[in-house]
Amino acid sequence: MSRFFGFRTCTVCNEPCTPGNFVDHDGKRYCTACWIEKENPKHEGIEDIRAANREAAAKWKRQKYSRKEGPLPTGPMSARKD
Protein backbone atom coordinates (compact mmCIF):
# COMPACT_ATOMS: atom_id res chain seq x y z
CA MET A 1 0.00 0.00 0.00
CA SER A 2 1.43 3.37 -0.94
CA ARG A 3 1.90 6.10 1.62
CA PHE A 4 -0.73 8.85 1.77
CA PHE A 5 1.08 12.10 2.36
CA GLY A 6 -1.89 14.19 3.43
CA PHE A 7 -4.20 16.91 2.32
CA ARG A 8 -1.52 19.31 0.97
CA THR A 9 -0.47 22.44 2.84
CA CYS A 10 -1.89 25.89 3.44
CA THR A 11 -0.95 28.42 0.73
CA VAL A 12 -0.33 31.15 3.32
CA CYS A 13 1.55 29.51 6.22
CA ASN A 14 2.60 26.17 4.64
CA GLU A 15 1.25 24.19 7.60
CA PRO A 16 0.00 20.69 6.73
CA CYS A 17 -3.78 20.40 6.47
CA THR A 18 -5.75 17.59 8.09
CA PRO A 19 -9.32 16.43 7.51
CA GLY A 20 -11.75 19.15 8.60
CA ASN A 21 -9.06 21.79 9.19
CA PHE A 22 -8.93 23.50 5.82
CA VAL A 23 -10.99 25.51 3.34
CA ASP A 24 -10.58 25.45 -0.46
CA HIS A 25 -11.41 28.79 -2.07
CA ASP A 26 -10.63 29.96 -5.61
CA GLY A 27 -8.22 27.08 -6.17
CA LYS A 28 -6.19 27.84 -3.04
CA ARG A 29 -6.12 25.86 0.21
CA TYR A 30 -6.28 27.72 3.52
CA CYS A 31 -5.95 26.26 7.01
CA THR A 32 -8.78 27.35 9.32
CA ALA A 33 -6.52 29.81 11.18
CA CYS A 34 -5.42 31.59 7.98
CA TRP A 35 -8.98 31.65 6.67
CA ILE A 36 -10.29 33.22 9.87
CA GLU A 37 -7.40 35.69 9.89
CA LYS A 38 -8.20 36.64 6.28
CA GLU A 39 -11.92 37.10 6.92
CA ASN A 40 -11.74 38.49 10.47
CA PRO A 41 -8.26 39.78 11.40
CA LYS A 42 -9.45 40.93 14.84
CA HIS A 43 -10.45 37.43 15.95
CA GLU A 44 -9.08 36.70 19.42
CA GLY A 45 -8.43 32.96 19.11
CA ILE A 46 -6.34 32.77 15.94
CA GLU A 47 -3.19 31.57 17.72
CA ASP A 48 -5.19 28.96 19.67
CA ILE A 49 -6.70 27.67 16.42
CA ARG A 50 -3.27 27.61 14.77
CA ALA A 51 -1.84 25.61 17.71
CA ALA A 52 -4.77 23.18 17.59
CA ASN A 53 -4.21 22.68 13.84
CA ARG A 54 -0.50 21.92 14.40
CA GLU A 55 -1.35 19.45 17.15
CA ALA A 56 -3.98 17.74 14.97
CA ALA A 57 -1.50 17.49 12.09
CA ALA A 58 1.16 15.94 14.34
CA LYS A 59 -1.33 13.42 15.72
CA TRP A 60 -2.69 12.58 12.26
CA LYS A 61 0.79 12.09 10.80
CA ARG A 62 1.74 9.66 13.59
CA GLN A 63 -1.19 7.49 12.57
CA LYS A 64 0.01 7.28 8.96
CA TYR A 65 3.15 5.25 8.47
CA SER A 66 4.78 2.85 6.08
CA ARG A 67 7.16 -0.08 6.40
CA LYS A 68 10.04 2.17 5.35
CA GLU A 69 9.70 4.26 8.51
CA GLY A 70 9.74 1.45 11.03
CA PRO A 71 11.13 -1.99 11.52
CA LEU A 72 9.51 -4.96 9.88
CA PRO A 73 7.24 -6.95 12.15
CA THR A 74 8.90 -9.74 14.05
CA GLY A 75 7.73 -13.16 13.03
CA PRO A 76 8.87 -16.61 12.02
CA MET A 77 12.15 -16.84 10.18
CA SER A 78 12.23 -17.78 6.52
CA ALA A 79 12.41 -21.53 5.77
CA ARG A 80 14.94 -20.85 3.01
CA LYS A 81 18.55 -20.56 3.95
CA ASP A 82 20.57 -18.81 1.23
pLDDT at 20: 84
Query: What is the rounded CA–CA span in Å between residue 43 and residue 51?
Result: 15
* Closest of 18, 16, 10 to residue 38, by C-alpha: 10
User: What are the residue ranges spanned by the domains of the chain?
Assistant: 1-62
Architecture of domain 1-62: Ribbon (2.10)
Per-residue model confidence (pLDDT) at position 18: 83
The pLDDT score that the predictor gives to residue 78 is: 60
Q: How many CA atoms within 13 Å lie on the side-chain side of 64?
A: 14
Per-residue pLDDT of the chain (82 residues; tens, 9 = 90+): 445 556 788 999 998 888 888 889 998 999 999 999 999 999 999 999 999 988 888 887 665 555 565 555 565 666 665 5
